[in-house]
A and B are shown apart, each in its own frame.
Chain A
Amino acid sequence: MKAIKILKDKTGEGGLIFIIAIYIMIVIFALVLEADRIYSTYYEVENALYGSLNCALEYAMMDEYRADKIIQFDAALAENKFFEYAAQDIAAVVTGNSMTRYKDEKEILTVVIDDITTTNDSISITGIIRIPTMLSSVFPAATLELPINLKNTNIRIDE
């Protein structure tokens, strides 16, 4: 059998191993770069959401209560402002409880806010950040879903 003879032939084995090693190195390098991109995006979005949450809460604080040393804010206003500010900060379009960032009409990031909880002095959000990976165009399941859980408390009673 000619095929078995070819398989047993050891000529050029070194070259083949070298090519495989280079291929593995390229794959590892690409994975590291992709992981770094995903981490940076997640960090950037999380920071932006936290800043938006701070601004929304600060905006909705009720000064008439502050004068009496009571911490109170308008929850509905804070929620609306949070979506407005977050959409500005992450350059996304708001649809219901989700925000999507597009590049060349292609979805590159989605933030879904599952729950917004408010108490008299704090607001917290839970949700997910959906980041497509480089394999998402081939395998839709390759989109990463990372959880977000942020809380902001405003205890300032002056001014």
Chain B
Amino acid sequence: MKRICRIMKENTGMTMVGALVATLMCIVILLTCISVLAFFSYYNEVQYICRKMVRTIEVSGLVDEQTYTVFEQLKDATGKAKATMTVDATYFDTENTKIQLRNTFTVTVTDSYTFRIFNVSPDSALAVEIPIRIKYTGVSEKYWK
């Protein structure tokens, strides 16, 4: 017991322990920053997909199979397999989902970012799912007659 107390009170090598703790803290802070930056990068990519989809619908003036093909291509190109898209609009031609010139529509892209906190095992990890929901409004630039 006496020996343990003596070791605990020993001041030799304190600087080394301090340096180790400081280095460890720096590494943790750096890793946290990288994780947060990765999230923002992911968020920006989802935003980009949403903007691109708004522009696609603005130019074509309709929501058809081609629109969803573009969405799938964008998802593949950016690796956002879970992303989904909904379009809310007042259609000029409901059957063909045409949007009249100057009519507004809203594109909502939803996705989620998996924030890994701790890897419990190679197969499973302690993670938090952060939902992402981007909503943009556009105006049809096609005149349907």
Interface residues of A (CB under 8 A from B): 51, 54-55, 58-59, 61, 63, 85, 89, 159
Contact = CB atoms under 8 A, between A and B. Distances in A.
A61 B142 CA distance: 11
B101 A58 contact: yes
Nearest to A152: B141
B58 A51 contact: yes
A63 B139 CA distance: 22
Contacts of B142: 58
B138 to A, nearest CB: 9
A51 B143 contact: no
B98 to A, nearest CB: 11
A55 B141 contact: yes
A61 B139 contact: no
Given A59-B101, A85-B102, A54 B141 contact: yes
Interface in B80-126: 101-102
A51 B145 CA distance: 20
Residue of A58, A61, A89 with most partner-chain B CB within 10 A: A58
Nearest to A58: B143
Given A55-B101, A55-B141, A89-B139, 5 more contacts: A51-B141, A55-B139, A59-B143, A85-B102, A159-B145
Interface residues of B, number: 8
Residue of B139, B141, B145 with most partner-chain A CB within 10 A: B141
19 contacts: A51-B58, A51-B139, A51-B141, A54-B141, A55-B101, A55-B102, A55-B139, A55-B141, A58-B101, A58-B141, A58-B142, A58-B143, A59-B101, A59-B143, A61-B143, A63-B145, A85-B102, A89-B139, A159-B145
Interface of B: 58, 101-102, 139, 141-143, 145
A58 B142 CA distance: 7
Contacts of A54: 141
B103 to A, nearest CB: 11
A54 B141 CA distance: 6
A85 B58 CA distance: 15
Nearest to A59: B143
A46 to B, nearest CB: 15
B129 to A, nearest CB: 31
A140 to B, nearest CB: 35
Contacts of A55: 101-102, 139, 141
